[in-house]
């Protein structure tokens, strides 16, 4: 089983690679791993990617959330992350709670603008650092935002990818369906199927995601964590501890043993 400290490092590096070709990526509140990935992607791109990060003094030029919604509505962002409490096979997300609305058994913080953002921002990555059946359900208990829209509806935005602790899915908007693209080191398709309550497509031969390069790890451990510390100091401390334990690159035998590869 993969070391949980390694998992954070590899997920951040994988997310950074997914957004490396974006122009302007937005990050919402309480999103430490996506924030780290966005900062890493910006450093890898040598500053080409523009970032808007809520909670950051350097990367948040807005006076309030109204400016954020305005830019999203005008198509200024081409990347965003959401971490819903429930996700179903059609890409619908639930950020409200579990149970029959309004008498919910479990209450979450709420949708917080996700219906607008899910409609208007393209290339949204759904991200969960755990992969459990209670998250990936046949049908969400409450639709905070729909995964796709019927023909004739203007919708530039929506999900493009789903990344979890076990693997990477793409989302086909025409089919309204996920496709498993790769598993992370130390995991397999059977484990993903056992922990996913909806059906999904998959290739005949399923690849494994690559471990990060030495250059990527160096970029993460250096300038990326310096900037991340301003926004998420406790998360940064945890990452520094993981990196200090010997997590380096895809050429490191210790990393291979820790991930079971």
Bigger pLDDT: 255 vs 213: 213
Residue of higher predicted confidence among 246 and 143:
143
**In order of start, what are the domains of the chain with their CATH numbers?**
4-259 (3.40.1080.10)
Distance CA 106, CA 256 (A): 39
- Mean pLDDT across the stretch 84-99? 97
CA distance linking residue 222 with residue 217, whole number of Å: 8
Is the model's pLDDT at 155 over the cut of 80?
A: yes
- Both structure tokens of 125: 């990555």
CA 163, CA 188: separation in Å to the nearest integer?
A: 14
What average pLDDT does range 47-70 have in this prediction?
Answer: 91
Per-residue pLDDT, averaged over 222-240, amounts to 95
142, 94 contact by CB (below 8 A): yes
pLDDT attached to residue 253: 42
Taking CA atoms, 47 is separated from 54, 64, 90, 185, 243, in Å, by 18, 25, 35, 30, 24
In this prediction, residue 47 carries a pLDDT of 95
CA distance 166 to 153: 33
Contact 160, 124 (CB under 8 A): yes
pLDDT at position 244 is 85
Residue 137: its H or E element: strand 136-137
CA atoms of 261 and 252, how far apart (whole Å): 11
Q: Torsion angle, CA of 75/129/86/200, rounded to 10 degrees? A: 90
pLDDT of residue 245: 79
**210: nearest Cα among 17, 36, 41, 46:** 17
pLDDT tops 50 at residue 123: yes
Give the single-character DSSP code of 221. Answer: I
Cβ-based neighbours of 180, under 8 Å, separated by 6 or more? 167, 168, 169, 189, 192, 200, 201, 202, 203, 206
Per the CB < 8 A criterion, the answer to whether 81 and 34 are in contact is: yes
Query: Which has the closest alpha carbon to 259: 247, 132, 207, 215?
Result: 247
Q: Please enumerate in sequence order all residues whose Cβ is within 8 A of that of 33, keeping only pairs 6 or more positions apart, or say none.
A: 8, 11, 12, 15, 127, 129, 235
């Amino acid at each position: 089983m993969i070391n949980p400290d390694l998992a954070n490092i590899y997920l951040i590096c994988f997310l950074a690679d997914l957004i490396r070709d974006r122009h302007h990526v937005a990050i919402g509140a309480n999103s430490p791993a996506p924030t780290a990935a966005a900062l890493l992607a910006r450093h890898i791109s040598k500053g080409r990617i523009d970032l808007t990060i809520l909670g950051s003094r350097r990367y948040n030029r807005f006076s309030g959330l109204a400016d954020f919604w305005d830019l999203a509505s005008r198509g200024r962002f081409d990347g965003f992350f959401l971490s819903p409490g429930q996700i179903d096979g059609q890409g619908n997300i639930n950020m409200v709670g579990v149970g029959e609305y309004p008498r919910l058994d479990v209450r979450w913080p709420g949708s917080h603008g996700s219906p607008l953002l899910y409609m208007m921002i393209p290339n949204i990555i759904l991200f969960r650092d755990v992969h459990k059946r209670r998250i990936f359900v046949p049908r969400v208990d409450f639709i905070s935002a729909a995964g796709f829209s019927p023909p004739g509806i203007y919708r530039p935005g929506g999900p493009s990818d789903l990344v979890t602790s076990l693997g990477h899915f793409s989302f086909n908007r025409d089919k309204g369906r996920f496709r498993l693209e790769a598993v992370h080191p130390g995991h397999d398709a059977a484990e993903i199927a056992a922990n996913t309550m909806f059906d999904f497509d998959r290739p005949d031969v399923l690849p494994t995601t690559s471990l990060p390069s030495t250059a990527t790890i160096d970029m993460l451990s250096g300038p990326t964590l310096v900037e991340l510390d301003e926004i998420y100091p406790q998360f940064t401390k945890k990452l520094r501890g993981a990196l200090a334990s010997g997590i380096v690159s895809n050429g490191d035998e210790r990393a291979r043993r820790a991930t079971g590869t």
